[in-house]
Structure 1
Amino acid sequence: MLKTISKSKLVVGSLIVSMFFISCDKKRVFDEYLSLTDQKWNKNNELKFTFSVEDTLNLNNLFINIRNNKDYGYSNLFVIAQMNFPDGNTVVDTLEYDMADGTGKFLGQGFSDIKESKLYYKENILFPTKGDYTFKIRQAMRKNGEVSGIENLEGVTDVGFRIEKTK
């Protein structure tokens, strides 16, 4: 009986703490993560995030969130990002992000082996149309001098997409 009470108190306490952090995130419009199998990002694994837009008047910042561990062996990250609009328009970007400083220390936040990098994708954008949007992303890493991409990019644990209000 005592164990049941302790577990239920733990669950209630966890829910209260979670609700506190969620309610404090007033800038968040959309925030979702996808976990990668075996902490590897296959070059053919296009990750997809679908979100609905109702606000076409206020500016937003869009972020790509990457969680990596010590197995990530590069100082940068190349990705191909695609935004599909409700009206059928599509925008495709090839992006490069720094993942480590000159000494090889990862730039992300975190106290453990997992570092989280919040990477700007688009700043101060206005969604032109109400409706459902789709953001797709895939890794485009290549070793120097090689044409074919890295089949499985090791050390990437999760990929996320986040939209924040600018004000």
Structure 2
Amino acid sequence: MTVLNYLVKCSALLLVVMAFAACDADKFYDESLSLPGDRWPGEEALSFTMNIEDTVSPYSFYINVRNSTSYKYNNIYFFLTTSYPGGGLSRDTIECTLADKSGKWLGKGSGRYRDNRILIRDDIRFPRKGEYTLRLNQAMREEVLEGISEAGVRLEKK
């Protein structure tokens, strides 16, 4: 291999790596937690804690859901409880659609699982600096919801 060929291959590899890194440049926070056996007990909350220092910039808020193709519903409801720095709570009920009316899965993937990133709110701003805790519970009125393998939250700084 000549030096020129080596440099061309290294440059191409570097460009590919940079392209993949740039695809997620807006990510501020992204975490999902696994649910053993694709089972989510109704009383089990998934908890996510983040430190917010920027109260001026807007963020986009997403929920990540990984479901198996054996999941028997076309949607999922969540309870989202937010704990604010210095005290205070809020609670929202959120619906996320996972399949269209014909039953075709909307998420990415093939085989047994589909990954969904669902925009919940755009242009949100945090009122105070400090530590925020978000807790997700499934709200599907089942003691144990089957077919969900992961759930999480993602914040992107705009």
- Which deviations, in whole Å up to 9, do the C-alpha atoms of 1:105-137 show, x marking residues without a partner? 111111232111112222211111111100001
Partner in structure 2 of residue 151 of structure 1: 143
Q: Residues of 2 paired with 1:112 and 1:28: CA distance?
A: 27
The answer for the alignment partner of 2:41 in structure 1 is 42
**Percent same amino acid among aligned pairs?**
38
CA, structure 1 residues 44+19, in 2 after alignment: closer, same or farther (shift >3 Å)? farther
TM-score, with length taken from structure 2: 0.84
Matched with 2:24 is 25
In 2: Cα distance, 1:18 partner to 1:162 partner: 22
How far 1:161 sits from its partner (Å)? 0.7
User: Whole-Å Cα distance in 1 between the matches of residues 92 and 18 of structure 2?
Assistant: 35
Deviations 1:15-53 (A, max 9, x none): xx8887445411100001100011111101111000111
SS at match of 1:104: coil
- SS of 1:111's partner is coil
- Is 1:106 matched up with 2:105? yes
Deviation at 1:89, TM superposition (A): 2.1
> Which runs of no fewer than 5 residues in structure 2 stay unpaired?
1-15
Give the Cα separation in 1 of the matches to 2:113 and 2:76: 16
CA distance in 1, matches of 2:31, 2:17: 16
State the one-letter code of the partner of 1:151. E
- The whole-number CA distance in structure 1 between the counterparts of 2:45 and 2:101 is 30
Comparing 155-164 with 86-95, greater Cα deviation is found at: 86-95
Bigger mean CA offset, 154-163 vs 106-115: 106-115
State the TM-score, normalizing by the size of structure 1. Answer: 0.80
Letter in 2 for 1:92: R
Q: How many equivalent pairs are there?
A: 143
Matched ranges for 1:87-106 at <5 A: 87-106=86-105
CA gap of 1:18–1:47, structure 2 versus 1, over 3 A, is farther
- Tell me, which stretches of 5 or more residues in structure 1 are unaligned? 1-16, 142-148
